[in-house]
Amino acid sequence: MNLMDRINNDLKESMKSQDKFRLSVIRMLKSALQLEKIALKKELEENEIITVIKRNVKQRKDSIEEYKKYNKMEEVQSMEKEIDILKSYLPQELSEEEIEQEIDKALEELKPESIKEMGKVMKYLTEKIGTVADMSIVSKKVKEKLN
């Protein structure tokens, strides 16, 4: 079963079980996917769906930081639940060790001269592991290794 079918099935299940919170999160996700489909003017592939889900997770993480600043803990909990639901559609992420190995392979292959070539390394890594790794962690580690 592909990812879009799984999202559609979960939407139906949430309707049947009357899980309003989960239903609203899945509807929001479907809406974001529809907008992406319109923007790209084509059906979405698995990796594009994953990119949209990751973007939504990142937006919620940013929101959590803002809510914490203003001590709105109820909203923080709500956002964390939304993140959990969204993450259920993402593939298992690489461990930090696996990320390190991929970075080492990329540095060995590309042989960057300085931090100025970080963009080239990040582009390479995004294509290779972008769907299964937290790219903010990858970015930090690449920066550390290039300095």
| Domain locations in the chain as residue ranges | 3-87, 96-146
**Band of residue 131 on the pLDDT scale cut at 50, 70, 90:** confident
pLDDT tens for each residue of 59-89: 999 999 999 999 999 999 999 999 999 999 9
| pTM tops 0.95 | no
Q: Can you read off the two tokens belonging to residue 96? A: 């930090």
Give me the percent of the chain exceeding a pLDDT of 70.
100
pLDDT value at position 105? 94
> What's the CA dihedral at 40, 46, 49, 51 to 10 degrees?
-90
As its CATH architecture, domain 3-87 has Orthogonal Bundle (1.10)
Other C-beta atoms closer than 10 Å to the C-beta of 133 total 20
- Stretch 114-127: mean pLDDT: 92
Q: Is the pLDDT of residue 140 over 90?
A: yes
Mean pLDDT, residues 32-38 taken together = 97
- Mean of pLDDT over the chain: 94
Residue range 96-146 in CATH 1.10.10: yes
What digits encode the pLDDT tens for the residues 88-101? 999 998 999 999 99
